[in-house]
């Protein structure tokens, strides 16, 4: 059974058809990337799978649970990190993770979260004093400390410097090795080669290719995924 099965997914915002019949599946333990330019429909797809907005058509199953029929079950096994996630700025990182852990039933969760965040002693500082990278690491820790079967991460490294982005990618790879399945979006075509097992290239609401980065580079005789994308879109 695949971790995620998406068949002919459609989403419209008024007259705009943001997602135009998209199909893909993600295997358990895979890091699967949705790659495409701004406005391609990535966030829309991820928000539908995270049970936050409703699809207009198509079928989605997450670990066998059908979206919109079994949303409660789905919410128990997924984590979603939005692109523009904010945290409660008046809290310290520690208070924030403790606050989130209360919704679940694990005290150990907070310790795990602190470890993932790699914030060290800064975990006791107020979030308002954190840099963008620190906030992102805290939010990623929040998303992963609940040990989701599927982590849905929207642009997990957007706007981060090289070191912070690298750390976040390593955390993702480490958790994938331990059994978490990842569905991530990115418009950074170089980063996806580093972390994704397979990628779906998406443009104007349609998937135009799905394969491993190395197969795609071979197929299009390209040096990198950016070059593949340009060749595919032309
Ligand atoms: P980005 O990389 O900029 O986040 P994206 O690939 O995630 O882009 P979406 O945010 O899913 O793309 O947007 C897909 C299309 O749907 C765009 O044309 C966008 O303008 C439109 N859209 C997204 N959300 C809404 C909304 N709430 N109302 C109307 N149109 C929307």
* Ligand 1 atom, smallest distance to 205 CA: 14
* Cα 39 to ligand 1 centre (Å): 5
* Ligand 1 atom, smallest distance to 19 CA: 14
The number of folded domains in the chain is 1
Q: Whose CA is nearest to atom 28 of ligand 1?
A: 13
Does any ligand 1 atom lie closer than 6 A to the CB of residue 43?
yes
**Residue-level pLDDT at 158:** 84
pLDDT under 50 in the chain at which residues?
Answer: none
**Residue-level pLDDT at 78:** 96
**Residue-level pLDDT at 133:** 85
The whole domain housing 13 covers 4-85+148-161+170-233
Does any ligand 1 atom lie closer than 6 A to the CB of residue 34?
no
**Residue-level pLDDT at 54:** 96
Residue 174 to residue 163: CA distance in whole angstroms: 16
* Ligand 1 atom, smallest distance to 47 CA: 11
Does any ligand 1 atom lie closer than 6 A to the CB of residue 186?
no
3-state secondary structure at position 173: helix
* Cα 164 to ligand 1 centre (Å): 26
DSSP collapsed to 3 states, 41-78: CHHHHHHHHCCCCCCCEEEEEECCEECCCCHHHHHHHE
**Residue-level pLDDT at 87:** 64
Select from 147, 224, 156 the least CA-distant residue to 190: 224
CATH number for the domain that contains residue 194: 3.40.50.300
**Residue-level pLDDT at 85:** 63
Does any ligand 1 atom lie closer than 6 A to the CB of residue 13?
yes
41 located within any domain: yes
Q: Whose CA is nearest to atom 26 of ligand 1?
A: 13
* Ligand 1 atom, smallest distance to 37 CA: 2
Does any ligand 1 atom lie closer than 6 A to the CB of residue 84?
no
**Residue-level pLDDT at 119:** 93
- Burial of 152 (C-beta count, 10 Å sphere; 0-12/13-18/19+): buried
111 located within any domain: no
110 located within any domain: no
* Cα 52 to ligand 1 centre (Å): 14
53 located within any domain: yes
**Residue-level pLDDT at 50:** 97
**Residue-level pLDDT at 160:** 84
Q: Do 153 and 143 form a contact (C-beta atoms < 8 A)?
A: yes
* Ligand 1 atom, smallest distance to 44 CA: 11
* Helix/strand/coil percent split, the chain, to 5: 40, 25, 30
- The two tokens of residue 187 are 């418009």
181 located within any domain: yes
DSSP string, 19-33: EEEEEEEE-TT-EEE
80 located within any domain: yes
| Ranges assigned E (strand) in 123-222 | 150-154, 181-186, 198-203, 206-211
Q: Do 97 and 110 form a contact (C-beta atoms < 8 A)?
A: yes
Backbone angles phi, psi at 115, to 5 degrees: -60, -45
For 67-110, how does the pLDDT look when each residue is reduced to its tens digit (9 = 90+)?
Answer: 999 999 999 999 999 877 666 778 999 999 999 898 887 678 99
109 located within any domain: no
138 located within any domain: no
């Amino acid at each position: 059974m695949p971790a995620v099965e998406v068949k002919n997914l459609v989403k419209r915002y008024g007259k705009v058809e943001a997602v135009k019949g998209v199909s893909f599946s993600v295997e358990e333990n895979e890091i699967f990337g949705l790659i495409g330019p701004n406005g391609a429909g990535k966030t829309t797809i991820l928000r539908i799978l995270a049970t936050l907005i409703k699809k207009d058509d198509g079928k989605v199953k997450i670990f066998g649970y059908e979206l919109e029929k079994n949303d409660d079950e789905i919410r128990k096994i997924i984590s979603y990190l939005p692109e523009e996630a904010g945290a409660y700025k008046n809290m310290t990182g520690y208070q924030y993770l403790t606050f989130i852990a209360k919704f679940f039933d694990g005290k150990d969760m907070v310790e795990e979260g602190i470890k993932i965040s790699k914030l060290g002693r800064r975990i006791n500082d107020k979030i308002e004093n954190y840099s963008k990278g620190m906030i992102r690491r805290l939010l990623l820790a929040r998303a992963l400390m609940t040990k989701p079967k599927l982590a849905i991460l929207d642009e997990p490294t957007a706007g981060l410097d090289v070191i912070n982005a690298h750390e976040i990618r390593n955390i993702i790879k480490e958790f994938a090795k331990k059994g978490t399945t990842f569905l991530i979006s990115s418009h950074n075509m170089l980063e996806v080669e580093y972390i994704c097992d397979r990628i779906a290239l998406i443009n104007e609401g349609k998937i135009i290719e799905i394969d491993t980065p190395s197969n795609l580079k071979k197929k299009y005789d390209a040096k990198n995924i950016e070059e593949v994308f340009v060749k595919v879109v032309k």
